[in-house]
A and B are shown apart, each in its own frame.
Chain A
C-alpha cells in the first residue's frame, strides 16, 4: 500500500512537471506576483489574509491584495468589472456553487496538476471537493471550513435547568429546552434575526433529522425528497425553536444577545463555529459556555459545511502565473491552513491536520473531529444558509420561505413544506 501511494504521488508529480513547464520556467525566471480580491479587510479575517500575504512574500513573491469591503454582492460587482475590463485578479475569494457559475464567465486556471502534486484531493471532504472542480477540473481551492450547526450551551442556563448532559438528538434538545424554560431561562434558544440565522435553524433541523433527505432535497433539489415527511418534520422542529426564541430580536446580529446568553437568560444557540471567536473577542470565558456538534437523530455528528475558497483566473503574465502556483501551494499547505484557522477560529480544510497541539481551542478540536466522523458516515453536507448548497438566486428563494415561516407563526409546517417545494420549482 505505501508503495502504491508513493508511486501514485511520483506519477502525479511528474505529470505536474510535464504539464507545467511554463510554470516551472516562469518560477525560476520571474518573481511571483499575485493580485487577489477578497472581502476580508478587517478583524481576524483581515489579520488572517494579511498573515497569508506575509508568507507569500517570505517565499519571494509580491502580494497585491485589494479587499472589497462589504458583502458578497460588492465583491462580485468588483470582480465582474475587472473581468469585463480584461483584467481579472489572479485569484479571488468565491465559494460554493458560485464557483461553477462564475467559471462560465471567464476562463479559469486548471489546477489539477498542482493539486495532484500536493496529494490534496484525498484529504478534502468529497462534497466540498466537488464544488471546487466543476467540469471535473480543479479551478478553485478551499481555504478554511466552518460548521454552521454547532450547538452552544450557556453554562448558567444549564445550571438553571439542573442539566449537565449535552443533547445529542433533537428529542434531547427539546427536553433540555423545556427544562430550561421551567428552570427560569426566559428564552431557551438564543438567536439573531438575520436571514442566514433563520436559514441555519432550518438546515440544522433537517440535516439533524435526516442528512440523506437534506442532501437529496436541498443540495440536489430532488422533487420527491422535497415532498418527503422529513421536510415537514424539520419545519415542526423549527417552529419549536422559534417559540423558544426572543421574538423581539428584529433583524439584529446574533452577537447582540451574547450577554443574555452567557448570563443564562438565553440557553442554547445554534450558530456557526465562528461564534466561538465572537464570544472570546467579546471578553467571555471558555467556562461560560460549551460547544458541541448540532443535534443529530442518528447520534452521529452531522456537519453543515461552510467553506471559504479562492478561484483562480487565467492570466498570461509569467509573474502572475508563477504567483498563482505559489498561492495554490500555500493554500494547500497544512502549516498555512493551521496558521489561518488559528487566527480566524475556523478549522482546516485538510482532514489530516493534527489539532491536539497548542493554539487550537476545544471547540475547534471538537469541530474537526465532528467533520472527520461526519465524512466517514457520509453526513457532511453543504450549508444552504451560507450559499454552499445552491446558487444565490435559488438560495434566496428558499430562505424567503424559511424566514417568513420563522417569523409568521400562522403558517403551518405542511404549508411551509409545500411553499418550499414551490419556491424551488419556480426558481429552477
Chain B
C-alpha cells in the first residue's frame, strides 16, 4: 500500500476546497435552519440563527396549509401541476431531440447543418422575446391557460438543447455502423430504435436531468400562460414571498422551497453520475 502523504500543498488545497464548499453550502444551511424556525423567532431575532425549538409545522403549512388567493391548500396542488407539465414535456422533448440529433449527425442531407444551426439558435433567444409569439400561438390553438399549452411550449423549446446534446453525442458514433445496418436493410427508424437508442442512455440521462430541472424551475411562462389553480409550483413559491404589508414568511418559505426542490434533487441523485460524463462525451473526439 502506498504511504499516505500529507504534503503542505495538499493540506492547503483541502483547506481552500473546504472553504469554497462552506461558502457554497451556507445559503442552503440558512434555508434549512430557517425552515425549522417560527416566523416570530426570525423576525424578532436575525435571519441567521439556530432554531430555538424545531418548528416542523412550517413543513405542514408549506405542504398543505398556506393560502394562495382564495385557496388554502399549500403547495401540494401546484406541485402536481408542475409534475403534469414537467414529466410529459421532458419525455417528449428528450425523445424528439434524440431523433433530431440522430438525423442531423448520422444522416447527411442537403442543408443539415443549417437546420441544426437554426434549431440550436433557440438556446440564445431570451425567454422574454419569445413570450409574445407564444401568446399568439396559444391564442390561435386555443391552448391559452391550459397545462397542455405549457407542455407544448416546453417540448418545442426544449428541442434546441436536446438536439444539441444528442447530436454532439451521436457524432462520435462511427458511420460504418449505420452503413452496415442500411446494407442489412434497416431504415431510419429501425436503426434509431435498434442501434442508436441502446447506445444512448448516458446522453438521455443528461437531457432528462437538464430538461426536468429547467421546466420544473421555469416561472415566466408558467405564470403567464396559466391561471388560478393551474399555476406551477414556482408561482406558488413567489406568491408566498411577495406580500407588501406582511413580514416575509421566512420559515414557511424556506420549508416550501425545500419541498419544491426535492424532485429535481432526486433526479440529480439518481442520474447525477451520468451528468458530467454525458456532457463531456463527444466533446473530445
Contact = CB atoms under 8 A, between A and B. Distances in A.
A85 B245 contact: no
Given A42-B67, A84-B136, A70 B243 contact: no
B66 interface: yes
B223 A81 contact: no
A256 B136 CA distance: 42
A346 B235 CA distance: 26
A46 B135 contact: no
Nearest to B42: A282
A84 B219 CA distance: 20
Interface string B11-54: 00000000000000000000000000001100111110000000
Contacts of B228: 64-67
Given A85-B139, A255-B248, A46 B69 contact: yes
Contact of A42 (B220, B231, B240): B240
A281 interface: yes
Given A44-B245, A50-B70, A259-B46, A67 B239 contact: yes
B182 to A, nearest CB: 47
Contacts of A67: 68-69, 228, 239
A255 B46 CA distance: 10
Interface in A187-237: none
Contact of A46 (B235, B243, B247): B243
Given A77-B224, A78-B223, A84-B139, A49 B246 contact: no
A256 B47 contact: yes
Contacts of B220: 74, 77
B243 A78 contact: no
B230 to A, nearest CB: 9
A344 interface: yes
Interface in A247-278: 253, 255-256, 258-259, 274, 277-278
A345 B245 contact: yes
A81 B225 contact: yes
Nearest to B237: A69
Given A85-B135, A85-B144, A281 B246 contact: yes
A346 B223 CA distance: 27
Contacts of A49: 69
Contacts of B244: 43, 45, 274, 344
B164 interface: no
A42 B242 contact: yes
A44 B238 CA distance: 15
Q: Which 10 A-B pairs have the closest CB atoms?
A: A43-B243, A69-B239, A282-B43, A43-B246, A41-B239, A277-B245, A85-B139, A274-B245, A66-B228, A66-B227
Interface of A: 39-47, 49-50, 53, 64-71, 74, 77-78, 80-82, 84-87, 253, 255-256, 258-259, 274, 277-278, 281-284, 344-346
Interface of B: 39-40, 43-47, 66-70, 131-132, 135-136, 138-139, 144, 219-220, 223-225, 227-228, 231, 235-236, 238-240, 242-249
15 contacts: A42-B66, A44-B243, A45-B245, A47-B67, A50-B69, A50-B70, A81-B224, A85-B138, A87-B144, A255-B248, A258-B43, A277-B245, A281-B43, A281-B246, A344-B245
